[in-house]
Amino acid sequence: MSLRLEEKRIEIDGKVYVIRCNMAVLDALETAYGSFEAAVRLPVRDGVSAILAAMLNDYAEDMGWEQSWTAKKVKKRFAFSDMMELDILGMFNRAVVPESIAGAQETPEAETEPGDSGN
């Protein structure tokens, strides 16, 4: 098990942002939407925009940049397909769902009737 956060680098207006879904990003989402559960229940395009805005703001704060992203600014600036290609939602899911749960897939055993050979 690794505690290292997944990171991606993106360039916006000549600045390179390192985006990651850390606890500060999750806190920003919870604060913006009243609860973590409310943030998770957003429609996909709203959720992806909100997550990316929180990631960009977190890195901008780390760098001391006077940049403030909102979900609305993100929607105006980026195509939804570009955000999906960045796999923002996947980064979020991998950050909040334990690997042991995400990797566990139950495959139901095929049930056959007694005497049914399947032929």
Global pTM value: 0.80
Domain count, the chain: 1
Domain housing 73: 8-97
* Mean pLDDT, range 79-99, rounded to an integer: 90
**Is 78 among the domain residues?**
yes
Burial (CB < 10 A; 0-12, 13-18, 19+), residue 52, is buried
Higher pLDDT, 14 or 1: 14
Q: Identify the CA nearest to 69 among candidates 42, 50, 88, 89.
A: 50
- Cβ contact 71:53 at 8 Å: yes
Please state, for a pLDDT cut of 90, what percent of the chain lies above it: 69
Task: Please check whether residue 70 lies inside any domain of the structure.
Answer: yes
**Other beta carbons within 10 Å of 25:** 25
The answer as to whether 71 is a domain residue is yes
Asked, for residue 116, whether it belongs to a domain, the answer is no
pLDDT band at 100 (very low <50, low <70, confident <90, very high): low
What value does the mean pLDDT take over residues 51-56?
97
| pLDDT range class, residue 56, cuts 50, 70, 90 | very high
Per the domain annotation, does 74 fall within a domain?
yes
